[in-house]
């Protein structure tokens, strides 16, 4: 009886696979969804999925790549945590609020993905992207998805090539000698003479609906090889500084080219200063400015980026204070009214600039619109959540304690990265 049932299930799976092939051959469009699993109860690093990595919430790196790839009919985050849900929506994702049954420590990825598929019957193909792979780029997703949509595979997963010699583990206290697993010790190959081995790097797994219903990998499967520099996986806290350096060099920073930034607008109170105004016995107002921040401003100016310091109607600077700040920083200081976005837009019109050419540093709710619109935007570490969620970069440093310098270095790093890519493209075009 059991054997008969097994054959019946196999027959059903074959029918589903053939149906998927008919849909592919007929040209009917399949609904392709990106799905990032982000449970709130990470044991290694608390709320790891929204911890800031190189100025961006960890999950933001893969969401940006998924959205900008333009390959998905929908982009989802599956979570059980309110804060993760807020960040996911900020970065353009829909939210699948997973049930308690698949939110346990013992719950598997398969349990959650199957629940998502069951609740979203319109989805035909799921691309499960790991939030812990911040060096993922849109072209990785596009090329891998084409293996499903154009080559007829039903399961595709990412791998990286490793050149590691592996040995059999011997338990502590054991007297058995270890044995080589993938080499002949008497004829150790040189790295250049050995192709290495393909290992899953955990960046993404793509499956058709029929495949998901019987497991995560199956049917006609294939691998998609990624270069080692893009294969970053964060599992423990010690990986964080290493991943941060890697993502600054190899991460995906968005569709807009950062080299076009020509203007930085920076709030005085709560960004350049810590927000406090000191008043002397004689009534004279004073603020504290960190020399690291003024040096950051001058670094931008040397690279041709204009810097304007702005002050809102809520924290009006005296003329004497504004003049002193202007003299010390070499920047124009402008007082803005309540309509910050309107006045910034007018300023941009006067300078013939688009939002993508503007970097904006704010620190509170009145800055949210400009933070969202600017090509690059940042907030200090101690900014309120409403501003952090709107910014594209969150500084490690607090206001008045190096946040402006940090954002300045970030802008210059992106400009350098973009110029390097342009030079590589030029060499490629001239060579080939």
Q: Which active-site residues does the annotation give?
A: 188
Q: Give me the long-range contacts of 347-352 (CB less than 8 A, separation at least 24).
A: 347/308, 348/263, 351/263
Phi-psi region at 270: left, alpha or beta (left = phi > 0; alpha = psi -120 to 50): left
In angstroms, the Cα distances linking 381 to 256, 271, 316, 364, 395 are: 25, 10, 23, 12, 5
Cα of 342 vs its chain's centroid, Å:
30
Residue 396: DSSP 8-state = S
Question: 103 near 83, Cβ under 8 Å?
Answer: no
In angstroms, the Cα distances linking 83 to 4, 61, 207 are: 48, 17, 28
- Give the closest residue to 274 by CA, choosing from 378, 369, 383, 365: 383
Distance CA 75, CA 396 (A): 29
In angstroms, the Cα distances linking 245 to 237, 248, 402, 421 are: 14, 5, 19, 18
- Two tokens, residue 329: 């920083």
Distance CA 225, CA 198 (A): 8
């Amino acid at each position: 009886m059991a054997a008969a049932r097994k054959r019946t299930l196999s027959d059903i799976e074959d029918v589903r696979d053939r149906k998927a092939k008919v849909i592919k051959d007929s040209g009917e469009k399949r609904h392709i969804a990106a799905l990032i699993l982000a449970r709130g109860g990470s044991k290694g690093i608390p709320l790891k999925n929204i911890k800031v990595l190189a100025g961006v919430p960890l999950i933001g790196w893969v969401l940006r790549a998924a959205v900008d790839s333009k390959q998905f009919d929908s982009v989802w985050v599956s979570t059980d945590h309110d804060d993760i849900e807020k960040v996911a929506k900020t970065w353009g994702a829909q939210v699948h609020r997973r049930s308690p049954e698949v939110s346990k420590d013992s719950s598997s990825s398969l349990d959650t993905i199957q629940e998502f598929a069951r609740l979203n019957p319109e989805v035909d193909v799921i691309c499960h992207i790991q939030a812990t792979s911040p060096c993922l780029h849109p072209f990785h997703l596009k090329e891998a998805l084409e293996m499903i949509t154009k080559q007829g595979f039903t399961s595709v997963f990412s791998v990286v090539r490793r050149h590691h010699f592996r040995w059999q583990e011997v338990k502590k206290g054991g007297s058995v000698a270890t044995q080589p697993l993938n080499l002949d010790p008497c004829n150790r190959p040189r790295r250049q003479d050995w192709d290495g081995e393909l290992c899953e790097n955990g960046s993404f797994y793509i499956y058709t609906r029929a495949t998901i219903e019987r497991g995560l990998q199956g049917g006609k499967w294939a691998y998609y090889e990624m270069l080692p520099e893009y294969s970053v996986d964060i599992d423990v806290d010690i990986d964080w500084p290493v991943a941060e350096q890697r993502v600054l060099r190899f991460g995906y920073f968005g569709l807009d080219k950062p080299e076009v930034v020509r203007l930085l607008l920076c709030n005085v109170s709560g960004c350049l200063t810590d927000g406090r105004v000191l008043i002397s016995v004689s009534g004279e107002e004073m603020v504290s400015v960190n020399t690291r921040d003024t040096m950051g401003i001058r670094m931008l100016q040397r690279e041709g980026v204009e810097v304007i310091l702005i002050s809102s109607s809520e924290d009006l600077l005296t003329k004497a204070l504004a003049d002193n700040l202007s003299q010390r920083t070499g920047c124009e200081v402008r007082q803005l009214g309540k309509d910050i976005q309107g006045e910034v837009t007018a300023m941009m019109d006067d300078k013939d600039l688009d939002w993508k050419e503007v970097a904006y540093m704010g620190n509170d709710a009145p800055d949210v619109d400009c933070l969202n619109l600017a090509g690059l935007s940042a907030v200090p570490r101690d900014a309120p959540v409403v501003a952090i969620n709107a910014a594209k970069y969150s500084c490690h440093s607090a206001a008045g304690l190096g946040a402006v310098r940090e954002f300045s270095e970030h802008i210059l790093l992106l400009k350098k990265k973009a110029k390097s890519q342009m030079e590589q493209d030029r060499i490629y075009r001239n060579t080939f």
